[in-house]
Structure 1
């Protein structure tokens, strides 16, 4: 789709013993067709409440059981996070976050918000990093070949230990930045 060859790599450990909290980099609006291809069965996403106003997509997104969070109302957002933990535990669901909170549009990996880590700690579930190589200036809709996108679903990380939510958030940001750089190098080497 979109003229991209997708090289999807999933760590064997991420395919068993879930549910997990998946965190992925959010590059642009094409992510729905690209990086979301890595979502494993039994996974719902957490998205901003305003998505429901996008014709057709918003209704399908909501009806599919995905979770909408009101980022403008911290009280409601916290309630949504708590309900998400209950759903994870009751239905054995994995949850997918874009912890940057917005699309980066070529600005690199943006700072992470802490919601995904809070959920993982409250639900006592591991975090899995989903990193995708850079798509900036890569997709042109009038081309058949837009190159390769590598998507890497890593191994689960248990959040036991003495780190705070902020420290875990920064740790995962650093790990993801490192993984994206590695994937970008692989794509560049393959294009020579």
Structure 2
């Protein structure tokens, strides 16, 4: 019964957020901060899942400037955990099929996010080049999931290089955002589902890498994030003990 009640309430509130987010974004059509405003609205829904979420932001986060935020992508609960970490003047890059999701698809487009055709590799490469120009010309940051898919309890999956090629092309740093593990933690029939930590780390300068070693760039960021993920999980485990 608790699970059913939660699903009904969450679905209703998500539709409300989509409708009012669309109206809000029509007034400020494709303003680069729209996506962050809406993402943080979704990020406020975590108590409905019985979660306690701690958001930790990097020091002087408002002084980082244009960058590419890279985050781990675990499951659908990212919508109410890591989504709150979206900063002003930040948009995301998502697959074209998102446009067909009722209510959300229109919202995703009208908030200024960028669609990419993952089925066409050459077109996707050209899109990343356009994203780099978008960062420079429109003075925005990009929020991406470099794993490319949900990990669903498989740990931090290997990173694709698109985000890192874009960072090099735009000449901007990469800022890791890590969320502690939520796989198998949430039971919608349980009142309390524990603590989750979402943390924004210090920027990683892309100038120390080049197109010739972009894979090393991706692996360097992966190593840093995997280590921090393990540390956050250990911190939560110690609090439970």
Same fold (TM over 0.5): yes
Inter-CA distance 80–144: structure 2 relative to 1 (3 Å threshold): same
Q: Give the secondary-structure state (helix, strand or coil) at the position aligned to 1:160.
A: helix
- Aligned mates of 1:115, 1:76 — CA distance in 2: 12
Q: Residue 46 of structure 1 contacts residue 95 of structure 1 at CA under 8 Å; is this kept in 2?
A: yes
Which moves more between the two structures, 70-79 or 181-190? 70-79
Q: Residue 71 of structure 1 contacts residue 77 of structure 1 at CA under 8 Å; is this kept in 2?
A: yes
In structure 1, the residue matched to 2:175 is: 128
Q: Give the secondary-structure state (helix, strand or coil) at the position aligned to 1:155.
A: coil
In structure 1, the residue matched to 2:219 is: 170
Q: Residue 209 of structure 2 contacts residue 217 of structure 2 at CA under 8 Å; is this kept in 1?
A: no
Counting only pairs closer than 5 Å after superposition, residues 103-114 of structure 1 correspond to structure 2 as: 103-114=150-161
2:184 is aligned with 1:145: no
Quote the RMSD (CA, aligned, Å): 1.2
Q: Give the secondary-structure state (helix, strand or coil) at the position aligned to 1:19.
A: coil
Q: Decide which of 11, 15, 29 is 2:62's aligned counterpart.
A: 15
TM-score w.r.t. structure 2 length?
A: 0.77
2:233 is aligned with 1:184: yes
TM-score w.r.t. structure 1 length?
A: 0.95
In structure 1, the residue matched to 2:3 is: none
In structure 1, the residue matched to 2:107 is: 60
**Structure 1 residue 14: Cα displacement:** 3.0
Q: Residue 168 of structure 2 contacts residue 206 of structure 2 at CA under 8 Å; is this kept in 1?
A: yes
Q: Residue 128 of structure 2 contacts residue 162 of structure 2 at CA under 8 Å; is this kept in 1?
A: yes
2:81 is aligned with 1:34: yes
**Structure 1 residue 147: Cα displacement:** 0.8
Work out the number of aligned pairs and report it: 192
**Structure 1 residue 162: Cα displacement:** 4.5
Return the structure number with greater relative CO, CA threshold 8 A, min gap 6.
1
- Aligned mates of 2:123, 2:60 — CA distance in 1: 34
Q: Give the secondary-structure state (helix, strand or coil) at the position aligned to 1:41.
A: coil
2:93 is aligned with 1:46: yes
Q: Which has the larger radius of gyration?
A: 2
Which moves more between the two structures, 28-37 or 138-147? 138-147
Q: Residue 13 of structure 1 contacts residue 156 of structure 1 at CA under 8 Å; is this kept in 2?
A: no
Inter-CA distance 125–152: structure 2 relative to 1 (3 Å threshold): same
